[in-house]
């Protein structure tokens, strides 16, 4: 009987979905990379890791993950040395599909599609990646953890004026994040108000000059790093910047880099960093 049961188990094992058992995935998209890492899906290669660490930061890319080159021009020879099971891309890099398919199957994802709801879309992305990599439970856990965190931070956050969330492109121009952005989706989850009421692109931002920020004198400026080279020094000498109410009144908030086009891992980081910065500023104002 024992021998019979062993043979039955071995036979059944042959029909299990084996591909994911030793599968590894590569991606040239940072949003997909951070999600794969957050759900513990084996990542064999990711693009532009130095840029990832500057703009995304977390989750950290493990040392064993190969840097496959530029997002717009991955090193195909390097990828071919240890082909992934699949390569995940986004529409921005769709022109690379044919070349990447010579190495491994390519699966496209479309985060931040026009006309979609960002918060729902990044949850859908998480579930899809969980299903494709066999990490459905981890994907569900990431979604649940994010909801729990947002609920907790919504209770912790203090009442503040509307916020203007910006990233610098150069010393005179900023991206201001509004509808369809990850940052705005987080504000909605923790019940804070976004002051920016102008049209945004599919990525959820408007590219504008610093002077446009003067139209929102009651808003608190939130600057998300990193700043391009030379911008810090230029702003110190810029009367246009120095006379903005948030700068002049020392109520401006600066946050460490959080990927503005990210998914749930970036949403978690932005929410934590923002609520912590608001609490720190309020404590500082109360002690003055």
Half-sphere exposure of 223 (CA within 13 A, CB side): 24
* 220: pLDDT strictly greater than 70: yes
Asked if 76 and 84 count as a contact pair (C-beta separation under 8 A), the reply is no
CA distance 285 to 72: 45
Q: Residue 45 in 3-state DSSP?
A: strand
- DSSP H helices in the chain: 2-13, 30-38, 49-55, 76-81, 97-100, 118-133, 136-156, 182-189, 231-236, 239-242, 245-248, 264-287
Q: What's the pLDDT at 287?
A: 67
Asked if 46 and 52 count as a contact pair (C-beta separation under 8 A), the reply is yes
Specify the range with the lowest mean pLDDT, choosing from 47-51, 159-163, 177-181: 159-163
For helices 118-133 and 182-189, give the axis angle rounded to 10 degrees: 100
Q: What radius of gyration, in Å, describes the C-alpha atoms of the chain?
A: 22
In the 8-state DSSP scheme, what is residue 41? -
CA distance 202 to 115: 8
Average pLDDT, the chain: 89
- State the pairing for strand pair 25-27/86-89: parallel
Asked if 132 and 86 count as a contact pair (C-beta separation under 8 A), the reply is yes
Confidence of residue 9 (pLDDT cuts 50, 70, 90): very low
* 207: pLDDT strictly greater than 90: yes
């Amino acid at each position: 009987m024992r021998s019979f049961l062993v043979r039955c188990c071995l036979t059944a094992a042959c029909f299990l979905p084996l591909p994911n058992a030793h599968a590894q995935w590569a991606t040239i998209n940072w949003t997909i990379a951070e999600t794969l890492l957050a759900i513990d899906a084996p990542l064999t290669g990711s693009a532009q890791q130095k840029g990832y660490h500057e703009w995304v930061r977390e989750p950290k890319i493990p040392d064993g993950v190969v840097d496959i080159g530029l997002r717009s021009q991955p090193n195909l020879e390097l990828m071919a040395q240890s082909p992934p099971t699949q390569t995940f891309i986004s529409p921005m890099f769709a022109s690379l599909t044919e070349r990447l398919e010579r190495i491994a199957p390519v699966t496209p994802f479309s985060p931040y599609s026009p006309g979609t709801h960002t918060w729902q879309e990044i949850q859908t992305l998480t579930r899809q990646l969980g299903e494709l990599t066999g990490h459905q439970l981890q994907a569900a856990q990431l979604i649940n953890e994010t909801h729990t965190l947002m609920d907790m931070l919504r209770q912790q956050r203090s009442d503040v004026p509307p916020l203007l969330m910006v990233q610098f492109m150069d010393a005179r121009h900023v991206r201001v994040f509004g509808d369809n952005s990850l940052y705005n989706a987080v504000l909605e989850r923790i019940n804070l108000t976004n002051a920016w009421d102008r049209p945004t692109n599919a990525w959820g931002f408007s590219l504008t000059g610093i002077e446009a920020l003067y139209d929102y004198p009651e808003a608190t400026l939130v600057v998300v790093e990193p700043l391009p080279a030379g911008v810090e020094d230029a702003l110190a000498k810029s009367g246009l910047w120095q006379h903005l109410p948030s700068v002049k009144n020392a109520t401006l908030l600066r946050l460490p880099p959080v990927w503005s086009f990210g998914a749930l891992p970036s949403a978690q980081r932005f929410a934590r960093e923002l609520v912590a910065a608001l609490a720190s500023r309020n404590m500082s104002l109360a002690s003055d």
